[in-house]
Amino acid sequence: MASHVPEGSQRGYIIPIGGAENKRRKPLILQKFAELCGGKNARLAIIPTASKLKETGQNYIDIFRDIGVDYCVSLPIEERSDSECVEYLQELNEASGIFVTGGNQLRLSTIMGGTPVAQAIRRRNAVGVHFAGTSAGAAIIPEHMIAGGKAGPTPREGGVIFAPGLGLTNKIVVDQHFRQRDRLGRLLSAVAFNPFATGIGIDENTAAFIDPEGMLEVVGSGAITVVDPSELFHSSMESENRGKAINLTNLRLHLLTSGAKYDINSRQVFN
């Protein structure tokens, strides 16, 4: 679960990005993140663990430097033992922003879960360090991470696979590449399993900038699908046979585009 915010501190932003964000031409999302972290004076720690491509970390260093950030470092955490590296932990302790790249979210959870690096990320976010993750890096933000599931519009019994996430928040569950990979059904399945959490489905080149008070602002060219289960009347999840469509009644669904805001705590939309 999220680390306690010490007295006198304010939690940093958490910023799930739906993947495939513009990187070179009009990198609006990455620019906004960099500015939030201090612009030219930001110190960014990039974690490319989800990707097996050796160049991923350096690619993001180059992108952020092109944006104007002077100090960027990649932490190549490839084994669980790397998460105990004193140098990497020091970089996290000095960072104003932490960025986790895309790839396979199960690599993130199995390599980093429960390690000093994961603990440091939660602790640093609790004292004001901003955290952004794209694709797999977005999926791992909540306490409950969507690790897999079938595409399609219909929620089904067994339609989603969960794994433990970083636990920066327990109030949302995140899915990414949302419209492009037809993931409404698995987000609905996720919400049916855990009606406490709001479902956030993020399109590519789109991000949710969630401030310390829980206000979400949409940034980017796509949309965010918000599934609010607060008034869920009935779910047939527990009684359906494996793979069968499930019945969900009285859900609320919002489609929000750039500039729209959603209060995760009050569950109100502000256009």
CATH number for 43: 3.40.50.880
Is 228's pLDDT higher than 80? yes
Give the residues across from 149 on adjacent strands.
Answer: 160
Residue 270 lies in a domain: no
Q: Whole-model pTM above 0.95? A: yes
Which of the residues 96, 144, 177, 235 is marked catalytic? 177
Residue 3 lies in a domain: no
Residue 76 lies in a domain: yes
Host domain of residue 101: 14-264
For the chain, how big is the Rg over CA atoms in Å?
Answer: 18
Residue 8 lies in a domain: no
> Which pLDDT tens digit goes with each residue over 114-171?
999 999 999 999 999 999 999 999 999 999 999 999 999 999 999 999 999 999 999 9
* Alpha-carbon gap, residue 136 to 12, rounded angstroms: 20
* Alpha-carbon gap, residue 57 to 98, rounded angstroms: 12
In total, how many domains does the chain have? 1
Residue 160 lies in a domain: yes
Residue 4 lies in a domain: no
Our measurement of the distance from residue 102's CA atom to the centroid of its chain's CA atoms, rounded to an integer in Å, reads 10
Residue 1 lies in a domain: no
Alpha helices in 2-155 (DSSP H): 28-36, 56-67, 86-94, 105-112, 116-126, 136-139
Which of the residues 135, 157, 189, 235 is marked catalytic? 135
Which of the residues 21, 91, 157, 204 is marked catalytic? 204
Residue 5 lies in a domain: no
Active site residue 204: yes
